[in-house]
Amino acid sequence: MAIKTSDLNAKLFGKTNKRRATTPVEAQKAAKSQAQVIELAVAGEDLVTFELRKIPAKDVSSSTVVFAENAREQSFLTEHALSDILSTLRDRGQQYPAVGRVVEGGKIEVLDGSRRRMSCILAKQDFLIYVAEGINTKHAKFLSDVANAHKPLSLYERGKEMQAMLSRGDVADQKELAKVCQCSEALVSGALKAATLPLELLQAYPSVSEIGRPTVVKLHKLYNALSEEEQKTLLKQCAGEQGAAWTRSTALGVSRMTKEVTELIEVWIEDLLPKKEPAKSLTTELVKGRASYKRKGSGLTLSLKKVDDALMEDILEYISQKVS
């Protein structure tokens, strides 16, 4: 059953003077009306017809792909990262359909809903998605970008977007990036640092979105203190034969698990770095417990203990004669 744009907007806003749905969020809300077909004005331009499809659980992974320009890093979508929607999806199934397009070969490319897609795969649930044909790359990017507003991107993902903006010449520097992205320069710096970290290192965590800027800055500094060979060794430790580092944690809760993984990585890095020899004492003992001196360049510092006034006078007179 098709639902007219005017009826859709009347249901969404309680008004009849709206002419069309203008965002994928509005389109997803229409699912409550069990609409099999909706019309959506993509990017405020072309009116596109989307048809609701149900992908059987066993076919979700093979029949669908995620839009290549989606800012969300798919390898970060673990059970912990998806915990906010997985429990509901397991109990009640998918509540809001995703949005996608048909691509060459007949596969469905997910533009809005990559988290729902992975959750359906993990929970072995059917995947609901509104699908349209003839959506160009520009409009696909629009739908994908709007979708990412549902769940904030991680620092790494934001950093990747910022890197792309710098590479394209959209902005001149980090200061301009901060203005365009409406955030602090410190956050921009942290995001760009995160974007340079290897995926294998970040995949050691249960949920990358839980890694804050201070941890990212620390990881960036420690990782770059290693040689290339040491970095390779560290990344192998992060992955491990038993799986990512977070799977080996016994901590309860994502925050505690994140802290434990960070501490573990710090230990691994410390073990890899060359052991520093203890600094040699610059102080030389002249008379045990009584007199010592420290030599630095042409300077000499003398330290004396148990010195009475008479001895002090003799020493000062002697020094005065020698250095005058």
Sign of CA dihedral 115, 121, 122, 126: positive
User: What is the per-residue pLDDT for 25?
Assistant: 55
pLDDT tens for 144-194 read 776 655 667 889 989 998 998 899 888 888 999 899 888 899 999 999 999
Residue 34 predicted with pLDDT over 70: no
- The type of residue at 201 is L
Q: Is 17 helix (H, G, I), strand (E, B) or coil?
A: coil
User: What is the per-residue pLDDT for 16?
Assistant: 33
User: What is the per-residue pLDDT for 192?
Assistant: 94
Average pLDDT of span 207-216 = 90
Average pLDDT of span 190-217 = 92
User: What is the per-residue pLDDT for 225?
Assistant: 92
How big is the chain by its Cα radius of gyration, in Å? 31
Q: How many CA atoms lie within 13 A of 294 on its CB side?
A: 8
Residue 298 predicted with pLDDT over 90: no
User: 140 or 281: whose pLDDT is higher?
Assistant: 140
Q: Which of 145, 121, 118, 102 is nearest to 57 (CA)?
A: 121
User: 226 or 252: whose pLDDT is higher?
Assistant: 226
Tokens 């710098």 locate to 166
Q: How far apart are alpha carbons 124 and 60 in whole angstroms?
A: 9
pLDDT tens for 236-291 read 999 877 778 888 887 888 889 999 999 999 999 999 887 766 656 578 888 888 88
Query: Residue 200 — very low, low, confident or very high, per pLDDT cuts 50/70/90?
Result: very high
Q: How far apart are alpha carbons 222 and 226 in whole angstroms?
A: 7
Q: How far apart are alpha carbons 209 and 232 in whole angstroms?
A: 24
User: What is the per-residue pLDDT for 54?
Assistant: 92
Q: What is the DSSP string of 180-198?
A: HTTS-HHHHHHHHHHHHS-
Q: Which of 176, 181, 65 is nearest to 118 (CA)?
A: 65
Tokens 């809300």 locate to 29
